[in-house]
Amino acid sequence: MSIEKFTISRDDSVYECFPHLCRTRSGRILLVYRESNGHVASEFCRLVVRYSDDAGQSWSARRVICDEDRSSGVLRTWNGPKIQQLQDGRILLLCDAVNYPPGEWGSEGRCRIWLRFSDDEGLTWSEPQPTPVAGICPDQVTELADGSWLLPSNVCSDKTNRIIQNITISHDQGRTWQAPKTLFDHPDYQLDEVSIVRMPTGELVAYQREDLGRPVQKLISRDEGATWDGPYDTLNPASIGMPIAGVTQDGFVMVTGRYGVPGNWRPIDSAELWQTRLAKRGIVIPKVPDTEAFVATFARGPHTAETADELIIGQGGSSVHTFAFLEPVESALATQKSEQKGAVLPLDLDASPFADSGYTGWVEYERGRFLVVNYINDDAPMAQIRGYRFGLEDF
């Protein structure tokens, strides 16, 4: 079976991004993603939910969960939504939010995670409930054996000034939260976006993005997240972007994500093209006190422009590959690369001059058959949501 690739949502006036999926017990597949004016929402943003009852062959109309704009001068931005069905049957949609300005870049500690619940498979939603959990790009919650929730999120380390992953636990299903604990903090690593998955044998494995040139890293907990061993190298090179991990019905671990060469170089490029990229204003960082340190240290070059009030970052300086990585459980738990094994399945290539792609979600809609969602520029002027269906035999 070849990979089936199809468009789920494309609106050339809107930047559709950061999709995530869950499959409910009834078989319905829920999709959440953000609409905005760019990779950084600086003018407007919306959270959108759609559903499919036929394994992604068709999708419901957009259901806008929240709609924010900057008409008042300040925009509440919603960043990386996650959706899942809890053990008690409720659907949980969680997302980080922060006001723009300052926005999330350079002020991650000001972001907070909010929770929404649905009792009717995503048709209606509760009012958003704030939490004290700080950080951006959260994972979905991991439900522990005692019913507690484990919630990771990205913050900036006071010790190393690098992005790190904090884990916060709630013992009462999100009503109150404990003090956060740091997963790993070392000046030689930048481990940020994480996906935690429970192995069939009970261990928790945290797959993490690493921004200093390493492959996907992993940490392993054998005591329900109280302590973690690692980090350890994996065979999975897709470290530039958030990994999304899960265990398949056949007992394999699958991780979807993206890979792009760090830096800004293409064999055919020009100053004029960079000006076009910058004019899209995909990433805009306001120059305010909360972002002052970040703006001061950000490397300038053809990929940047600035005014007295803004730092603008162009996108598309390298191509972006989206793929799935599959490994057996014993490989997921192995700490040495020589003991690991796996297979890579390329899903898509964003070769657009404005490439921005590879934040994914996936479900197994029947045994051995998978649906992945991804956001990608490719042939569109703005990011679009694309789907992929394939089977185990395609690896």
Residue span of the structural domain in which 213 resides:
4-394
In the prediction, which pLDDT does 239 show? 84
Q: What mean pLDDT comes out for the span 255-275? A: 92
Half-sphere exposure of 370 (CA within 13 A, CB side): 32
In the prediction, which pLDDT does 261 show? 86
Omega prior to 262 cis, within 30 of 0: no
CA angle at residue 262 from 257 to 263, to 5 degrees? 140
pTM above 0.75, yes or no: yes
Percent above pLDDT 70 for the chain: 100
Per DSSP, helices labelled H in the chain are 271-279, 292-297, 329-332
Cβ contact 79:20 at 8 Å = no
pLDDT at 381 over 80: yes
pLDDT at 6 over 80: yes
Tell me the per-residue pLDDT of 338-380, one tens digit each, with 9 for 90 and over.
999 999 999 999 999 999 998 999 999 999 999 999 999 999 9
In the prediction, which pLDDT does 1 show? 63
d(CA 365, CA 48): 21
Please name the helix (run of DSSP H) or strand (run of DSSP E) that holds residue 33, with its range, or none: strand 29-36
Averaged pLDDT score across all residues of the chain:
96
Tell me the per-residue pLDDT of 325-337, one tens digit each, with 9 for 90 and over.
999 999 999 999 9
Give me the number of domains the chain comprises.
1
Cα Rg for the chain, rounded, in angstroms? 20
Least confident of 29-38, 51-60, 264-273, 337-346: 264-273
pLDDT at 262 over 90: no
d(CA 65, CA 126): 10
Strands (E), 37-161: 44-52, 63-69, 75-78, 82-85, 91-100, 112-118, 129-134, 142-143, 149-156
Tell me the per-residue pLDDT of 130-187, one tens digit each, with 9 for 90 and over.
999 999 999 999 999 999 999 999 999 999 999 999 999 999 999 999 999 999 999 9
In the prediction, which pLDDT does 117 show? 98
375 exposure class (CB count in 10 Å sphere: 0-12, 13-18, 19+): buried
Q: Sign of the C-alpha dihedral, residues 152, 153, 154, 158?
A: negative
Tell me the per-residue pLDDT of 179-236, one tens digit each, with 9 for 90 and over.
999 999 999 999 999 999 999 999 999 999 999 999 999 999 999 999 999 999 999 9
In the prediction, which pLDDT does 133 show? 98
Could you tell me the CATH number of the domain that includes residue 189? 2.120.10.10
